[in-house]
Amino acid sequence: MSLQTVKFYQTGTYTVGNRLLGPDDRSVQSGELRSNSINSGHRACQGCGEALGARYAIDAAMAESNNQLIAVNATGCLEVFSTPYPESSWQLPWIHSLFGNAAAVATGVAAALKVKGKTDVRVVAQGGDGGTTDIGFGCLSGMFERNDDVLYICYDNEAYMNTGVQRSSATPPTARTATTMPVGKEPGNVFGQGKSVPEIAMAHGIPYVATATVADLRDLEYKVRKAMKMHGARYIHIFVPCPLGWGSASHDTIKLARLAKETGMFPVFEAEHGEVTSVLKIRNKQPIEEYLKPQKRFAHLFGKHAHPEMVAHLQAIADRNIRKYGLLDEEKAHG
């Protein structure tokens, strides 16, 4: 019998329509049993990538853990917008301690569960890029190195949004933030050496590292569920656009997440024990300008006082990602 590949993508989105799938293949989010772990009514901005990413990630982790999940949260937007007490969006046990210690608090929760023999209860820690790649980095590395039984999820919106859009170590070069203003000889954030925390996580050799974006939510759910099937330290780095901090339209959150992936700026991959096991290929490669132009944080690169050399530098970074991770199929890469 000859097989024919049928693609169930909705036009222009690459999203598989749930209606076309059997119940077992449908997304957690579309299922009636989804846990709504982050309930509606929270105070996130319109178009918040982090709220979307966290909703999909935590609901998927809940589904995979049979709703036996405890969440630890670093200080940041997610923490603030979700718990304007006496209201709390969290439908699972949730603790916020400090900005820089979510990974260590999660280690403590996991240790308590282990010592009490509650092997069915799992732990997820979550923080923004500031709480993960900067102030919480020491605790994160310690948790990785000990291989504690924690899934850490970083929601990366590339700056300190909660405090008013200041630069973090995840802020891309040239981006305007409140502490990297588009003034002077090198406007916006400087070109440093960068800091790939997913790669640093891989260097710890932990069982599972993955990156994802809120443009590919099925992929995000799949990675969270896969991570939750494993034990030990696991890390998922989710790219979450921030309309407020990036100066982008609320309705462009998913589009920008997709462009970050399709330009090569944000490589989407999985790794096990330090080795890349799969990458999400670029389907329709876009020039970096397509990604930069809808964002006011990059506005100073274009227009009257344009900086084409900086755009070229950013393109080179994207191209290096494409080469390094093999993000383009052979024929596309050479075509």
Partner 1 sequence: MLKQIEGSKAVAEAIALCRPEVICAYPISPQTHIVEALGEMVKSEKLTPCEFINVESEFAAMSVAIGSSAAGARSYTATASQGLLFMVEAVYNAAGLGLPIVMTVANRAIGAPINIWNDHSDSLSQRDSGWMQLFAETNQEAVDLHIQAFKLAEELSMPIMVCMDGFILTHAFERVDIPTQEQVDGYLPTFDPRQSLDPKEPISIGAMVGPEAFMEVKYLAHAKQMQALELIPQLAAEFKQQFGRESGGLVRTYRAEDAETMIVAMGSVLGTVKDTVDEMREQGHKIGVLGIISYRPFPLQEVRAALVNCKRFVVLEKSLAVGMGGIVATDVRMAVSGTGLKGFTAIAGLGGRNITKASLHKLFLEAEQEKLEPVTFVDLDWEVVNKQLEREKQNRHSGPIAENILYDKGMSTSAKFG
> Which residues bind to partner 1, rule: CB under 8 A?
67-70, 72-73, 79-80, 83-85, 88, 90-98, 100-101, 104-117, 121, 138-139, 141-142, 145-146
Nearer of residues 111 and 316 to partner 1, judged by Cβ: 111
What angle separates helix 217-229 from helix 49-64, to the nearest 10 degrees? 40
d(CA 278, CA 280): 7
Q: Which is nearer to partner 1, 22 or 117 (CB)?
A: 117
Choice between 106 and 318, CB closer to partner 1: 106
* Angstrom distance (rounded) from CA 62 to CA 71: 10
DSSP-H helix ranges across 251-307: 253-263, 288-292
The span from the CA of 177 to the CA of 159, in Å, is 8
Quote the CA–CA distance of 14 and 303 in Å, as a whole number: 32
Report residue 134 as tokens.
């900067």
In the complex, minimum distance from the CB of residue 260 to partner 1, in angstroms, rounded to a whole number: 30
Q: Which residue has the tokens 């046990």?
A: 93
Q: Are strands 234-239 and 151-156 parallel, antiparallel or unpaired?
A: parallel
Of 113 and 212, nearer to partner 1 (C-beta) is 113
Q: Which lies closer to partner 1 via its Cβ, residue 116 or residue 185?
A: 116
CB of 206 to partner 1, least distance (A): 15
Distance, in Å, from the CA atom of 127 to the CA atom of 143, rounded to the nearest integer, reads 14
How far is residue 35 from each of residues 24, 152, 176, 203, 328, measured CA to CA in Å? Answer: 16, 19, 37, 34, 36
Cβ of residue 97: shortest distance to partner 1, in angstroms?
5
Q: How far is the CB of 130 from partner 1 (least distance, A)?
A: 15
- Single-letter amino acid, residue 179: T
Closest CB to partner 1 among residues 95, 317: 95
Q: Which is nearer to partner 1, 92 or 154 (CB)?
A: 92
Distance of closest approach, residue 169 Cβ to partner 1, in angstroms: 18
72: closest CA among 36, 48, 38, 96?
Answer: 96
Structure tokens at 233: 């330290």
